[in-house]
Structure 1
Amino acid sequence: MRHLRLVPDVTTFDFFKHWRLWLGISVLAIVLAMVSFGVRGLNFGIDFRGGTTIRTQSAEPIDVAEYRAAMTTLGLGDVSITEIFDPNFGPDQNVASVRIQAQNEVEAVSQSTIEAVEAALMEVAPDIEFVSVESVGPKVSGELIQTAALAVALAIGTVLIYIWLRFEWQFAVGAVVALVHDVLLTIGVFSEVQLQFDLTTIAALLTIVGYSLNDTVVVFDRVRENLIKYKQRPLKEVLNLSINETLSRTIMTSLTTLLALFALFALGGDVIRGFVFAMIWGIFVGTYSSIFVASALLLKFGVKRDWSKPEVDKEARKKSGGASV
C-alpha cells in the first residue's frame, strides 16, 4: 500500500544559503507593519472602542446610504454602518451592523437612543428586525486594551523563560524574536486591510504564539539532538539537516490545520472571520519564522556543542556492541 507523501522522506534543501537576506526581509516587513500601524491604526471593534453595536436583518436589500441618512438627524456623530455578507445567508437575509461609538465618557448608548435608532431605521425598512444589541463602555474598553496587551506580553515573556531553561539563551532569543515577529506582522496586516480587531483577534494572537512556539521547539529539539550526534559538523549543516528532517511534519501539520481554517473562513460566518483570518496568516508567518528567523538567529549567535545525553550515548554503545550500565 502506497501512502500519500507531500514531501520526500529525505530532502536536502539549503535553507541558509541566503539567511541574511531572509532576516533583512523580515526586518523590512516589521518596519512596514509598524508604519502601517502608526499611519492607519487598527480598526478596533466594539470591545476596544466602547459604544453600541446593533445587528439588523431585513428581507429588503440594504442601502447603507439610506440607513446613514435616516440617522443623521439623531446627532450621534460618527456612526459606522456595514452590510454583512455570508454564504450561509438566504436571499431574504440582508444583515447589517450599525456601530455607534460611545461619546462624552458615557458608559454606553442609552436605551432611548437605541430606540430612536431603531425607529429611524424602520422608516427606511419597515420589515427590519433587530437581532442583537451589544454595548461596551469606554472605561471597560480601555481596560480590555491594557489587559490584552499584558496577556500577549506575558505569553512571550513566559516563552523566553521556558526556552532559556530547556535549551540555551541563544535558542531563547531566536524563539522570542520569532514570536514578536509573528505578532507584529499580524498586527500590521490587520492595520493594512482594516479588519476588525477585537477580543477574538487577541485570542488568535495568543494561539499564533502557541502554534509558532510549538513549531520552533520541534525544530530546536532536533537541532539539539543533531548537535550531540554530529559534533564535528558545522552549525549551518546541522541546522539544515534538522529542518529537513522535520520538514515533512511541519508541512503536514500546517496543511491539515489550514484545511480546517479555510473551511471556517468560507462557511463559519462573519462573527469568527477575523479570528480565522488571523489564524491563517499566523500559520504561514509562524512556519516561516521558525525556519528563517528563529533558526537563522541561532546560526548568527552560535551555540555550544558539549551537551551530554545518556540516551544517545546508550544508543551508540549498543551499535558498537558494548554493554550498557
Structure 2
Amino acid sequence: MKGLPIVRLLRIVPDNTRIKFVRRRVFSFPFSALVSVATAVLLLVWGLHFGIDFTGGTLIEMQARNGQANVSVVRQAANAISVGEVEVQEFGAGGVSIRVPVQPGGESAQGEVVTKARAAFEKDYEFRRVETVGPRVSGELVQSGTLGVVLAILAVMVYLWFRFELQFAIGAIIGTMHDIVLTVGFFVITQIEFNMTSIAAILTIVGYSLNETVVVFDRTRELMRRYKTMPLDELLDLSVNTTLSRTAMTATTTALSLLALVLFGGEAIRGFAVVMLFGVVICTYSAMFVSTPALLYLGVRSGRMADEPADTSVPVSVQGTGKA
C-alpha cells in the first residue's frame, strides 16, 4: 500500500556470509581436546564443590539485620557450637551461609544444630534458608542424579540414531559430550556449588546442545540431497552459514534472558543461570566448530541418496572467492 513506511528486517548475520568453519578445525579440535584434558586433571586435583544435596548435613543462610555481615565473628561463633568443621561463606550484601557436616545421631542431632545456630545468631541475623539432608538421602541423590544424566544421554543417542544416520548421531554425541565435559570444568574452576540444580542445568545444556546441532545437521542432510557433487567441507560450511542467523538469534535471546536472571534473579537461582549462560556459549561453539567438522571423519558421504537427481549448480551463498 502506498504511503506506508518500509520496515527492513533485522539481520544479525548477512545473507552472503561465507565463513570457513570447517577449516578452523585445525584450531578448534586441539583447543577442545586440551580443555577437556585440563578438566579431567582439575577434577582429580580440585574436585567439585558438592552441595548439601550430595554431601549431607545442614545449610543455613542468614541475612544481617544491619546490612553488614562480619564473617570472622560468625565463623568464631559457629565453631564455638562444637558441631565439627564448619564452612562459612559471605554472599551478596550482608548475606552469610553456614554449612555444617552430618552429625552423628540422626535427624534429632541435625535439628539440634539448627536450634543452636538460632540461639547464637538470631539476634543479629535473619534466617532466610535452612536445609537438612541426611547421609542416606544424599547418597540416593548422587545415584539418582548420575543415573538421570546417563539415561538421558543414552536416550538421546537412540533418538539421533533413528532421526538421522548413525554418522550424524555419533557427531551429535561428540558435541554433546564435549559440552558436558566443559560444563563440568566450569564447575571445577569457579567452584560453584554442585547440587541437584546443577544436574538440572547439565540436562538443560544437553538439550540445548542437541537442538543447536540437530538444526545444522538437518540442513546438512537437506543439502547433501541437493548438491551431491559439492565437496563435503564446502557443503558443511554452507550448512552452518545458512543456519547462522537462526543460531545467532537463538543464542542472543537466550543469553539475554539468562543475564537477567544472573543480575536480578537472586542467590537461589544465580548459580544455575551462570552455568546456563556458559552453556549457551559452549553449545553454540561446539555446533559450529566441533560436531559439524567431525562429520568429515565419520563417512557421512555414504548417506547421500543415490536415487535423487544431483543438482550440480553452485548455491549463491558459496559463490565467489572471498574468504572470511
Using the size of structure 1 for normalisation, the TM-score is 0.88
Does residue 1:267 correspond to 2:264, yes or no?
yes
Partner of 1:165: 162
* CA-atom RMSD in angstroms: 2.0
> Per-residue displacement from partner, 1:160-213 (whole Å, max 9, x unpaired)?
111111211111111111111111110111111101111111111101000110
TM superposition shift of 1:302: 2.1
Does residue 1:85 correspond to 2:92, yes or no?
yes
The answer for unaligned runs of 5 or more in structure 1 is 87-93, 314-325
Q: 1:108 to 1:210 in 2, by over 3 A?
A: farther
TM superposition shift of 1:95: 2.5
SS of the residue 1:134 aligns to: strand
Write the distance in 1 (CA, Å) between the matches of 2:190 and 2:138. 22
Q: Is the 8 A contact 1:107 1:138 kept in 2?
A: no
Write the distance in 2 (CA, Å) between the matches of 1:16 and 1:220. 14
Partner of 2:20: 14
Write the distance in 1 (CA, Å) between the matches of 2:293 and 2:9. 33
Does residue 1:36 correspond to 2:42, yes or no?
yes
Partner of 2:317: none
Q: Is the 8 A contact 2:102 2:110 kept in 1?
A: no
Partner of 2:100: 100
Give % identity: 45
Q: 2:75 is matched with which residue: 65, 68, 72?
A: 68
Partner of 2:182: 185
Write the distance in 1 (CA, Å) between the matches of 2:44 and 2:163. 37
TM superposition shift of 1:10: 2.0
SS of the residue 1:32 aligns to: helix
Q: 1:176 to 1:105 in 2, by over 3 A?
A: farther
SS of the residue 1:197 aligns to: coil
Partner of 1:258: 255
Partner of 2:316: none
Partner of 1:138: 135
> Per-residue displacement from partner, 1:106-156 (whole Å, max 9, x unpaired)?
45743222211222224xxx3422233211111111111111111111111
Write the distance in 1 (CA, Å) between the matches of 2:233 and 2:109. 60
Q: Is the 8 A contact 1:23 1:296 kept in 2?
A: no
Write the distance in 1 (CA, Å) between the matches of 2:225 and 2:45. 48
Q: 1:210 is matched with which residue: 207, 211, 217?
A: 207
Partner of 2:56: 50
The answer for unaligned runs of 5 or more in structure 2 is 1-6, 311-324
Write the distance in 2 (CA, Å) between the matches of 1:209 and 1:146. 19
Q: 1:309 to 1:246 in 2, by over 3 A?
A: farther
Write the distance in 1 (CA, Å) between the matches of 2:109 and 2:288. 49
**Letter in structure 2 aligned against 1:70:** A
- Of 126-135 and 156-165, the range deviating more from structure 2: 126-135
Does residue 1:120 correspond to 2:120, yes or no?
yes
> Per-residue displacement from partner, 1:262-281 (whole Å, max 9, x unpaired)?
01100000101111011101
**Letter in structure 2 aligned against 1:116:** K
TM superposition shift of 1:58: 2.6
Partner of 1:299: 296
Q: Is the 8 A contact 1:109 1:135 kept in 2?
A: no
Q: Is the 8 A contact 1:13 1:240 kept in 2?
A: yes
Does residue 1:5 correspond to 2:2, yes or no?
no
TM superposition shift of 1:15: 0.6
Write the distance in 2 (CA, Å) between the matches of 1:205 and 1:186. 7
Write the distance in 1 (CA, Å) between the matches of 2:108 and 2:174. 40
Q: 2:195 is matched with which residue: 195, 198, 208?
A: 198
> Per-residue displacement from partner, 1:27-57 (whole Å, max 9, x unpaired)?
1111111111111111111111111112222
